[in-house]
Structure 1
Amino acid sequence: MPTSPAVDSTARRRAPWWFNLAGQLLQPWVRIRRDPAEPAALLQPGVAVCYVIERDGFSDALILQRACREAGLPSPMQALAGTRRRRSVFALTRRDGWILGRNRKRAASGSLRQLVYSLEGRPEHDIQIVPVSIYVGRAPSRDSGWFRVLFSENWVMVGRFGRMLALLLNGRDTVVHFSAPVSLRSVLDESGEISPERFTRKIARVLRTHFHRIRAAVIGPDLSHRRTVVDAVLNAEPVRAAIAASATKEKISHAKAWRKAQKLVLEIAADYSHPVVRSVSFLLRNFWNKLYDGIAMHHFDQARAAAPGFEVVYVPCHRSHTDYLLLSYQLHVSGVVVPHIAAGVNLNLPGIGPILRRGGAFFMRRSFSGNPLYSVVFKEYMAQLIDRGVPMEYFIEGGRSRTGRLLAPRGGLLSMTVRAFLRAPRRPVLFQPVYIGYEKLMEGKSYAGELSGKPKEKESLLGLIKGLKVLRQRYGHVALNFGEPIELTPLLDTLGADWRSTSTDPEAKPEWLGAVTDRLAEQIQVNINRAADVNPVNLLALALLATPKHAMSEHDLLTQLELSKALVEELPYSDRITLTPMNPAAIIAYGEQMGWIQRVQHPLGDVLTVGAEQAVLLSYFRNNVLHLMASAAWIACCFLNNRRMTRDAILRLGGIIYPFIQGELFLPWDDDGFNRQLQATIDFLVRRGLLETNNDGRTLERSTGQEDSAFQLKVIARSLIQAFERYYITIAALAKNGPHMMTGAELENACTLTAQRLSLLNELSAPEFFDKALFRGFIQKLRERKVVWNDDSGKLDYDSALDDLVRDARVILSREVRHSILKITPGSDKEPTASHAALTPKASAAPADLFPGDASAADMHDRHVDAEQHEHDRRGGSDRREPPPQA
């Protein structure tokens, strides 16, 4: 392979003097980036090289000549060895005209025919064809102006004057992409006995497809003509059948029904525009600089490497209106195609909607019910995008999370995607989960208000103008973490083994489709959580919100932050978790700088505190990473009201509670995996001195409540204790009312009211404590575990498994908490059931100290006996009475 300076000098001698002069004149205006950086490694030594470029043009030849010279490649301007060609380059298409000329002529046939004829009768001779793609101004650079954006690379074949302007304005952002060479001899031998003309057409077709794919990967698919997509939707058989059915049902003419369908498609369809995408990208750069201190992407290289050959569907978590703008912008500036985004029709605002539509947004209504024509049209539009290989993005949570947790997924769009793939499985589908982590949210105050009962404020142009005041604030850093991608085909092979023989009927719904959609939705949420970013605000929220007054001494806070970081580092949740590199002191300083915490100076040591309003907002950021602390928090909860417990009891109770925690936090382990995680966490806590072991490690014991290690353990426990209190509220409401008395909706409402009242009485700063969706999820999990079910009248019934949950709750929740919940929970006046009797404490407890029962050794002994008695009861022992209240 020629890479020596001699090749370069030969290339210079064989290029005309005026060509070299033009190259020197162009050089100050063009800066070339090669992809790959060392294309010489792609070539086979000793084989003649012929370059093929997508479009004919003098400037493209100059750029190619320079790129080859800088990379040590053979010159495209030298004669091609073994042929009569005077140049080692040809173009697939040719431009005509100077200013307005954009006509294309296929110019490759003659050149390819010459190459094919040169191989006839010479089996030892070969030519390697190297496709080279040249893009001028693929994306605006940091110093780009509006005029430069208009002349960046796109799908339109501009004339010579347009190309000259593009070079002058954007030449310093020129990409030359070298593809792997194709052996003409090998392709000819594989083609068998076909005529040279037919073989030439075949090679030209393959090259055109190749260049089309490369251009689509670099600047996005050619969907500039919205009309073509709209026509394809309206001409699809399912839509035509729906139009006919609509005309019959509504007793209108077919033409009127068709116009109705056309109006629906136009309401839905994106109107993708490359110039608009580049222009908005130019604007967003300044917008992000005003808003954020930095935007980081992690694991993006793995995501980009996995994408080729797939229909990519980005499925990020949804926490802010800026989610889709951030992700699209970062993908664009990273050289990846901007996806088409499913947006709520509420965002189709005057002046804003058209811009979003041209940026790739397609709009969907919140509900399809009662409008079968809209449902068919939307599904067909989705199918057209997938069939054309257009990358997509949608949020399976259905809306923005108001609590900071992942919401229960909705399978509508996932089901449409799966069914579209089943209809035409030409390109495999890849779902790419994305975790988006903020340090401050623009919508934070409105979220807190909505959770407190205020109605959701509708999106409007006036509201958007009022919202511009957010530009006065700084919102810290943002992280976009790309999770492990999920391929659809292996999932179908597992749950729907006969999917390849499934009918292509778009309305077909195989029996296994629901299971595939549910598994896919759950795995997406799990993989989003497995790519979490732990930032300084998350760590501060975990620590400070676990104290009654949201305050800690600086020494205690430093210790707790160090412990939380160690938990994340030494007990890795997954290999895609990212953690702030700041040390505890820097985290506190950063929290003060961001305005999240305040310092109160004191002679005995400074105290860091959180205001009431800030505490509510911080609960959002604690919930972002709550799943990372689940195993440690469970173990710590076991020691809130018990001085010592056996390892087996902790593991057994953890196995019982795990399905409910897993459903709420989308944890990644199966039952055995969670057991192993608990074992590893226990070992960690023992190494750190937070727990001690006795009886050859079978018994675990914490220190007394006055010691630092006990305080640290309680702080960890408080991050999860509210989940168990919610569970107990649900059980209490069921037990107090009895079986066959409440529907699922009535139980949800009773639980929400109870939690709201408990929150008011105890000044809890976590609005999600009374989030109805969390109660709904727990009740659904009870149904899945066959603990509760609907009777013939639609009321809830339950069995003795509820009593087991009641008894297990005594180990975790203090008597005072249980008594408060029972007192507030609404119930019927009928005779108490066995479950209700099991709930009722035999005596009321005095207010608990840091750890209830630490007042005396005798009382602690009673609590130890209480835990052992609980284990005895579980194994069939006699009823027992609770220990007397704390003295």
Structure 2
Amino acid sequence: MSKASRGSAATINTMTFATASAEGLPQPRPGRAVGLLGRLLEPWVRIKRDPVEPGALFKPDVPVCYVIERNGLSDALILDRACREAGLPSPLQPIDGLNLRRRRSMFALTRRDGVVFGRARKRAPDTLTQILDALERQPEADVQLVPVSIYVGRAPSRDTGWFRVLFSENWVMVGRFRRLLALLLNGRATIVHFSEPVSLRQVLAERGGESTERLGRKIARVLRTHFRRIRAAVIGPDLSHRRTVVDSVLNAEPVREAIAATASKEKISEAKAWRRAQGFAMEVAADYSHPVVRSASFLLSWFWNKLYDGIAMHHFDKARAAAPGHEVIYVPCHRSHADYLLMSYQLHSSGVVVPHIAAGVNLNLPVIGPILRRGGAFFLRRSFRGNALYSVVFNEYLAQLVDRGVPLEYFIEGGRSRTGRLLAPRAGMLAMTIRAFLRAPRRPVLFQPVYIGYEKLMEGKSYIGELSGKPKEKESLLGLLRATKVLRQRYGHVALSFGEPIELTPMLEQASADWRQAAADPDAKPEWMNPLVDRLAERIQVNINATADVNPINLLALVLLSTPKHAMAEADLLAQLELTKALLVELPYSDRVTVTAQTPAEIIAYGEKMGWIGRVSHALGDVLRAEDEQAVLLSYFRNNVLHLIADAAWVAACFLNNRRMSRASVLRLGRIIYPFIRGELFLRWDEEGFAERLQGVVDFFVGRGLLESQGEGRLLERGPGQDDGAFQLKTLARSLMQAYERYYIAIAALVKSGQGTLSAGALESTCTTTAQRLSLVHELSAPEFFDKALFRGFIQRLRERKLVWTNEAGTLEFDPVLGEVVKDARVILSREVRHSILKITAAPDDKDAASQAAA
């Protein structure tokens, strides 16, 4: 695009008058008043013409008629001023040589009906038809049709004030008041783009017998296409899906078929079914707005500075390098409502296109919903069941996004984690994405896992309440307004860590060599699809965990919550923090895990500053402790990184009730327990890899003096109970002890009830009530200990291992080997805990037997 000269108005007028005279163009009247409104507007508008000298485009002695994209007095005045400054014929004068009733030599393609709430109206302008009719009556005459594009405040730079961004040029036809504000705020960045003139005489000569009315409609369509192309080049592509995608969705063959099927099934007209489908599409579709995104970035910048002490991004350069040429699907973990705002803000600040985000329809609140929609959110219902038309419309909308290469973001956990752990994935969006790619496999799909880590959560207390049995509070505008009190607190640092990306095509090749045949048949449901979706979902969760960021609060939570009263002497806490951090650094879980650089002393000081722990002064040395409520909240942050020490916790657990143990027994029992730990924590190793990892942990403990290796490494021994090394092992072991206790509860309840006695639902309920009772007796501070979803997942893994199955009566039967597992539990579970669990789960007549089994 040409650059405007910055000469004075007088100099420009002198030059343009000379140009007009030389070329024989009709000269404007230099002293002609442009009206009061034009004079009022003049100080607020600075015009940049493109090209700088548009007169060179015109033919001499041929009348001119200007065409603008949108009707409006301000656009007419801007065009008139641009023409006067360039020495061109004024658009406010009649067309020379034609006896038309029109007083102006200009018209607009689109008008807006009504004064305040009118809608845009597109049709062939009457002026164009009148000109064509006049040219038919005067075969010797001609008119130059000049398309002129006017942009008031094109897409602003990063330094532009946020309020001005709201009124920058976009793809929406705004009303008069909004246009006035745009002129007042952005008028000094006005662009007037003159395009090559079109000879209407030549168009008439080539019309091929068409009527002037039909020809006028054809010219109007061509001009609209021209204006859209120029607008896209000046301010960027139109990302408003309510104009560019919804129509495509409704015209797609699957949607048309679903509309016809709905009309037939419900005995309604197809027009009514179509309107219903349109309503679904409008409910779903994003309405991306560059000004809103830019404005939100300014607001969020203030908001984050108010809430957080810093936002870090790890491995983003690797993610950026992998993205070109791919359809990128961001799949972060979901821990807070702030997740998607943080992701979009950080990507936008890093110069990356903001993804379109799948949001629950519960967030489509008054005021908030439209803002989120303009920020790229598209909404989906929690369930598609029973609404085939909605399902087809949503699938088609998602397919349109994938086909257009729009980056996407969604959370495969289905909701925010209330425990800090990754939830079992709900793979519906993954399945729809894969089917969308199979339908049009033009651009390879790349899934980008992202770990999001906090040091304090805005929703922390509500999470604990929900886990304790309180009903989930429904999102509402009033609730959001009440939540503004969070601005009074500080929430520490946040980390966004980008994991190893996952390419879809290699996984498809692995699933089926002829996967492209499924692409040729959109209705195909290949057998390999569901297993592929499950593998992809699990791999995403594994890759999220493999890029965890360990912050000071995570470390404090890991250590303090492993003590009975969540308190430690300062010297012991320093030593345990040093050990845990050394374990994470010297035996890294993966090359993408990051660990805080703070020293143990700095971690303690930071925990006190953030209010997570308190100091109790004592003559024999200070004690650091977490109060009851803080301890419950800290369990969330322990669970964020619990998977990183699962291997070390298992080795340490083997020496809780045993001073000596063979290395082979540690590995053998580790192999037995690993599938269940892996399923719960989304660990990255297979069973052989875990065994190798355990070997490394044993060597680390031996090197640190926590274990002593005897008999050429075959026998391992810890120090006596009062030894510091034994205390450190015990603290590590307790990190995962609650998981082992949950497993024991489920297996003990099943075995004690007997074959074919309990259904899966009854077993879940029994496990939950048992865990709740045990939590009360032992004062456990982790509400997820009795989370029914964790028991459900464990029972499912027992099914997968063929250790448990459902009989014809719908009740559970099990492999007798589970009875041996109950006995083996004495290796890591204390007699007291085993007795408590067996006593609670046993039938009344079995109390004595339970006591004997615990012994």
Q: TM-score, normalised by structure 2?
A: 0.76
Quickly say closer, same or farther: Cα 1:136–1:572, change in 2 above 3 A.
farther
**Which residue is 1:313 aligned to?**
329
**Which residue is 1:508 aligned to?**
524
Contact preservation (8 Å) 1:740, 1:795: yes
SS for the counterpart of 2:568 is strand
Quickly say closer, same or farther: Cα 1:562–1:828, change in 2 above 3 A.
same
**Which residue is 1:573 aligned to?**
589
Partner Cα distance (1:307, 1:170) in 2: 35
Return the match for 1:395 from 411, 422, 429.
411
Partner Cα distance (1:230, 1:355) in 2: 19
Q: Give the partner amino acid of 1:700.
A: L
Instruction: List 4+ stretches of structure 1 deviating above 6 A.
Output: 18-22, 57-62, 94-98, 100-104, 152-156, 161-171
Q: Deviations over 1:538-593 (max 9, x none)?
A: 00000111111100011011111111110110011111111111111111111000
Partner Cα distance (1:19, 1:253) in 2: 60
Return the match for 1:226 from 224, 236, 242.
242
The within-5 A match list for 1:89-238 is 99=78, 140-141=158-159, 144-148=161-165, 150-151=167-168, 222-238=238-254
Q: Deviations over 1:394-440 (max 9, x none)?
A: 00000000000000001100000001111110111100000000000
Contact preservation (8 Å) 1:345, 1:363: yes
Partner Cα distance (1:722, 1:169) in 2: 64
Q: Deviations over 1:635-662 (max 9, x none)?
A: 0010111001111110111111110000
- What's the CA shift for 1:228? 2.5
SS for the counterpart of 1:497 is coil
SS for the counterpart of 1:842 is helix
**Which residue is 1:10 aligned to?**
none
Partner Cα distance (1:151, 1:252) in 2: 44
**Which residue is 2:754 aligned to?**
738
Q: Give the partner amino acid of 2:683.
A: L
Q: Deviations over 1:451-485 (max 9, x none)?
A: 00111010011111111111111101100001111
Q: Deviations over 1:267-294 (max 9, x none)?
A: 1111111111111111111111111111
Q: Does residue 649 of structure 2 align to residue 649 of structure 1? A: no
Q: Deviations over 1:846-881 (max 9, x none)?
A: xxxxxxxxxxxxxxxxxxxxxxxxxxxxxxxxxxxx
Return the match for 2:822 from 786, 790, 806.
806
Quickly say closer, same or farther: Cα 1:545–1:262, change in 2 above 3 A.
same
**Bigger-Rg structure (1/2):** 2
Quickly say closer, same or farther: Cα 1:97–1:804, change in 2 above 3 A.
farther
The within-5 A match list for 1:187-586 is 222-586=238-602
- What's the CA shift for 1:679? 0.8
Contact preservation (8 Å) 1:815, 1:841: no
Q: Deviations over 1:494-527 (max 9, x none)?
A: 0122111115443321110001100000000000
Partner Cα distance (1:343, 1:557) in 2: 42
Q: Give the partner amino acid of 1:800.
A: P
- What's the CA shift for 1:749? 0.9
Seq. identity, %: 69
Partner Cα distance (2:427, 2:297) in 1: 31
Partner Cα distance (1:423, 1:162) in 2: 43
Q: TM-score, normalised by structure 1?
A: 0.73
Partner Cα distance (1:598, 1:152) in 2: 54
- What's the CA shift for 1:151? 3.5
Contact preservation (8 Å) 2:242, 2:286: yes
- What's the CA shift for 1:758? 0.6
- What's the CA shift for 1:137? 6.2
Q: Give the partner amino acid of 2:299.
A: L
Partner Cα distance (1:740, 1:486) in 2: 42
Q: Give the partner amino acid of 2:834.
A: R
Contact preservation (8 Å) 1:151, 1:170: no
SS for the counterpart of 1:823 is helix
SS for the counterpart of 2:446 is strand
**Which residue is 1:767 aligned to?**
783
Partner Cα distance (1:666, 1:724) in 2: 16
Q: Deviations over 1:362-396 (max 9, x none)?
A: 11111111111111111111111111111111000
| Structure 2 spans left out of the alignment, 5+ residues | 9-46, 53-68, 83-106, 110-152, 174-178, 192-224
Partner Cα distance (2:782, 2:580) in 1: 20
SS for the counterpart of 2:357 is strand
| Structure 1 spans left out of the alignment, 5+ residues | 1-14, 23-56, 63-93, 105-134, 172-207, 846-887
Partner Cα distance (2:186, 2:579) in 1: 56
Partner Cα distance (1:820, 1:284) in 2: 51
Q: Give the partner amino acid of 1:500.
A: R
Partner Cα distance (1:664, 1:674) in 2: 15
Quickly say closer, same or farther: Cα 1:283–1:254, change in 2 above 3 A.
same
Quickly say closer, same or farther: Cα 1:339–1:139, change in 2 above 3 A.
farther
SS for the counterpart of 2:443 is coil
Q: Give the partner amino acid of 2:852.
A: K
Q: Does residue 646 of structure 2 align to residue 636 of structure 1? A: no
Quickly say closer, same or farther: Cα 1:19–1:270, change in 2 above 3 A.
closer
Partner Cα distance (2:853, 2:820) in 1: 21
**Which residue is 1:599 aligned to?**
615
Partner Cα distance (1:826, 1:219) in 2: 72
The within-5 A match list for 1:717-796 is 717-796=733-812
Partner Cα distance (1:826, 1:622) in 2: 32
SS for the counterpart of 1:669 is coil
The within-5 A match list for 1:777-856 is 777-825=793-841, 827=843, 840-842=850-852
Contact preservation (8 Å) 2:313, 2:497: yes
The number of residue pairs the alignment matches comes to: 691
**Which residue is 1:199 aligned to?**
none
**Which residue is 2:28 aligned to?**
none
**Which residue is 1:677 aligned to?**
693
SS for the counterpart of 2:311 is strand
SS for the counterpart of 1:648 is helix
SS for the counterpart of 2:245 is helix
Quickly say closer, same or farther: Cα 1:219–1:818, change in 2 above 3 A.
farther
Q: Deviations over 1:738-791 (max 9, x none)?
A: 111111111111101100111011110000000111101100000000000111
- What's the CA shift for 1:842? 2.9
Contact preservation (8 Å) 2:562, 2:735: yes
Quickly say closer, same or farther: Cα 1:149–1:357, change in 2 above 3 A.
closer
Partner Cα distance (1:282, 1:325) in 2: 12
Quickly say closer, same or farther: Cα 1:152–1:331, change in 2 above 3 A.
farther
Partner Cα distance (2:766, 2:169) in 1: 59
Partner Cα distance (1:810, 1:60) in 2: 83
**Which residue is 2:41 aligned to?**
none
**Which residue is 2:100 aligned to?**
none
- What's the CA shift for 1:227? 2.5
Contact preservation (8 Å) 1:154, 1:274: no
Partner Cα distance (1:599, 1:153) in 2: 57
Moved more, 449-458 or 255-264: 255-264
Partner Cα distance (1:236, 1:565) in 2: 56
Q: Give the partner amino acid of 2:158.
A: P
Quickly say closer, same or farther: Cα 1:380–1:311, change in 2 above 3 A.
same
